[in-house]
Every structure is written in C-alpha cells, then in structure tokens.
C-alpha cells in the first residue's frame, strides 16, 4: 500500500485493474487507491506477471506499506521469482565454545529482543520522551522503518496519535460504541438508518474539530457593490463569444473574486501567513484553496499563484480542478499546501455565513449571494447589487487591523474590477 500523501496512514483498495496471470510493465496502472480526499491510480514500478492478489477490492483501512500484491519477475530467463514482502535481518553473533558462527534471524516486529516496531534509536528516544506509542506510527523509512522525521512530524502537527499512557484501542472502541448506543436509544427503533463514516467524512470531522478547538477564530464582514463586476464579467463573456475565443472559458463571479482576493492579499502580505509554535510563516506565493462540494463531503483544490494569472486562466484552472474533484481524481499536490481559502455559497442563495479555517492556513473568505438592495447615493435612492464577504481569521497570527485592511482592499478591487486588468 503506497503512501500517496504526507498525512496518509491507511487507504482503501477501491478497484483492481489487473488479475492473476496478467503481464504488467513499469508505468502500467494496476489499481485505484482511495484516500480521504481522492481516488488515485497506482502505477507498477516492475515488469512481471501478477502472481497473487493479497487484498480484495473494497477493503478499507489498509496500513501504508502493507503488501497488497505479489508479482513474478523473470530471473535471467529462468523460472519467475515472486516479489514478496521483504523481511529485515540482523546478524547475531553467538559466544560459545563452538567456533564463531554468524547467522541471520528475521526481526519482524522486534529488534534485539525489544518489543517495538522496527525503528531507529533516535526515533525510539523521541517517542519515549513524548510518550508516543510506536505501534501507532507508520514509518517512512526503508521497509516501513520508523525514523526521526516520522516522530517529529507527529509532534509538530499534533495529529493525535495514541500515547503509551492512554487506554488500549479496544477500550476506546467500547467507549465509542457505548456513546453511539446512548444516542441511538433516544430514537424509536426502525426510525433511522445507519450510514457508516467513510475516510473522507472522518477526515473532515477530525480537521474541523481540530480547527475550532485549537484556532481562536474571529470574524470581520463587509458589503460590496458588485454592479461594476457583473458588467465587466458580461463584457468579457460577450467578447469571448463574439470573437469565438475557444480557449477562453465563460467567466464566473467566483473567478473574479479569486483574482480580487489574491490582489488584496498581495497588498496585505501580513495576512498571508501560517501559525506554528515557534515561528510565523509568511508565504511568498498566494495559493488559494477553493471549497468544492462533492457527494459525501468537501474538498479544497488549489489554484496556485492566483495573483499572477489572468481571470480567464483562473477560470479554466478552476473548472478543471472542480471536474477532477467531483471525480475524486485529485492528486495530493492539487489539494495540499494552499495559503488561504475561499468558500462561496452564493449559488445557494445564502446571504452571509462564517467559514471554518483550514489549518495551517490563517484565513478563509466566505462569499454570499448578490442581493439587490436600495442605497442612498448622491442625494438619491438607487438599487444596487450587494454581496457580503466575511473573513474568518486566526487571531494568533492575524490581528484585527490586518484582517480589516485585507477586506477593505478586497472591496476596492471588487467595486473597481477594471483595476484587476492593469
């Protein structure tokens, strides 16, 4: 089972694309792996014949580095040799009256008689210092060996691994089952159905809970007149249509919003940051995660360096990312590493809302629907289209004045969209 992202610990074998006896070559797609965010194709790195499929389709929670398939390779024209899960070996020196004999013994889950997974001495020391149970850690070293970086990443990101001082997993499961039973007893029998959580829903729940429990959110809102924006958008789409510009997509309001937010962030770089325990990370790029609703959950594909791209280019990129997101075909690099986010619920008629920050980002912009409202301007009442924008910010890394300045700049670009074309 491959590790398809830095945070992946387990995966689901969604579909086999080969069967026993098939000849495969490097680069051939052999199966589809489902992570918490996407379904990804897994390529073979060897040439050979499928000998045995070890894991059946639909199996969930397969640990990273667990064997899923055996293949046979041709050994210099002789009988094919199976590629089987490797075992680690350590040399044992025996002290006895007999001549010195060197032998090899499999380490499997123990090293030198110690009861812990295969790991480096430094990793074991760090794990002991931070009360981390090594059996809950997936190693990134050769053959799944746990190395120093694995432990440091867990400590840095506080991913909630099982600690040696916690109760055993069986006890945790029984507690969870008891809680579920208490909830279910509140409802009449046969009045509901049970829908098990899939990996995506579990991840969404975990990250949002982590965000609200660890990030001190605060919110600032502003109303924007989008009449000029709507007019510019209409002109751009009419131009593309009349000149038969096949490489220009129909531009949406959200495409213009992404451009405006990126330019505002460029003007207020102190908002383009991430909080860590020891330092503040100020990002040089403005990479915006776009919230996309898909069946069963939410994904946030990223448009990179938005401030440097044209609105038509942004539009094309967003459409391609949304299509792949709905097919659950996003690659990890397409949804990991954004510096801020935009969530637009205007298409559902929602006038305003507050979004939850996606850590380690410090901001997320929530966009509501454009609503026609009367305003008093130049001594007269006129009807304009007003769009509300609400910024959620991490108060550890972004001060109120910075958030207010960012929203004010965003409003300037939205109400004067021609500035974005300069």
Residues with a catalytic annotation lie at 395
Structure tokens at 304: 């990179």
The torsion defined by the Cα of 120, 126, 129 and 130, in degrees rounded to 10, comes to -120
Residue 171 Cα distances to 79, 115, 130, 174, 183, angstroms: 49, 21, 22, 5, 19
Q: Which of 237, 289, 242 is nearest to 261 (CA)?
A: 289
Bridge partner residues of 385 (DSSP): 372
d(CA 311, CA 204): 30
**Paired residues of 299 in beta bridges:** 292
Please give the sequence-ordered ranges of beta strands (E in DSSP) within 265-344, or none if there are none.
Answer: 273-275, 280-282, 288-290, 292-294, 297-299, 302-303, 340-344
Locus of tokens 């391609």: 320
Which tokens is 227 given?
A: 């009449």
For 151, residues 6+ apart whose C-beta sits below 8 A from its C-beta are 123, 126, 127, 130, 132, 137
- For 156, the 3-state DSSP assignment is helix
């Amino acid at each position: 089972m491959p590790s398809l992202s830095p945070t992946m610990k387990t995966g689901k074998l969604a579909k086999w694309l080969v069967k026993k006896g098939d000849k495969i070559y490097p680069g051939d797609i052999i199966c589809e792996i489902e992570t918490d965010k996407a379904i990804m194709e897994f390529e073979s790195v060897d040439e050979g014949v499928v000998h045995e499929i070890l894991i059946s389709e639909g199996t969930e929670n397969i640990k990273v580095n667990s064997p899923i398939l055996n293949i046979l390779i041709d050994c210099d024209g002789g009988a094919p040799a199976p590629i089987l899960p490797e075992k680690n070996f350590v040399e044992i020196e025996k002290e006895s009256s007999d001549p010195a004999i060197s032998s090899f013994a499999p380490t499997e889950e123990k090293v030198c008689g110690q009861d812990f997974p295969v790991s480096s001495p430094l990793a074991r020391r760090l794990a002991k210092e931070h009360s981390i149970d090594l059996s809950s850690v997936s190693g990134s070293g050769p053959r799944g060996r746990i190395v120093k970086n694995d432990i440091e990443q867990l400590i840095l990101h506080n991913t909630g691994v099982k600690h040696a001082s916690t109760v055993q997993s069986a006890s945790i499961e029984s507690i969870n089952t008891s809680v579920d039973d208490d909830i279910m007893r509140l409802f009449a029998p046969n009045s509901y159905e049970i829908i098990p959580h899939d990996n995506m829903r579990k991840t969404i729940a975990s990250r949002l809970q982590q965000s609200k429990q660890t990030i001190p959110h605060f919110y600032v809102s502003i109303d924007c007149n989008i009449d000029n924006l709507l007019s510019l958008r209409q002109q751009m789409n009419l131009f593309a249509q009349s000149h038969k510009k096949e490489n220009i997509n129909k531009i949406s309001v959200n495409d213009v919003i992404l451009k405006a937010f990126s330019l505002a962030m460029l003007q207020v770089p102190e908002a383009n940051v991430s909080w860590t325990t020891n330092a503040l990370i100020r990002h040089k790029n403005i990479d915006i995660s776009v919230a996309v609703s898909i069946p069963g959950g939410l994904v946030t594909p990223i448009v990179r360096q938005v401030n440097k791209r044209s609105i038509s280019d942004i539009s094309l990129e967003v459409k391609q990312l949304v299509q792949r997101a709905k097919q659950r075909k996003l690659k990890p690099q397409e949804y990991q590493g954004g510096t801020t986010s935009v969530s637009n619920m205007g298409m559902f008629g929602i006038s305003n809302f507050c979004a939850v920050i996606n850590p380690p980002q410090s901001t997320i912009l929530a966009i509501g629907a454009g609503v026609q409202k009367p305003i008093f301007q130049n001594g007269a009442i006129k009807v304009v289209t007003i769009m509300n924008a609400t910024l959620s910010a991490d108060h550890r890394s972004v001060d109120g004045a910075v958030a207010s300045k960012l929203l004010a700049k965003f409003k300037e670009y939205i109400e004067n969209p021609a500035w974005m074309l300069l």
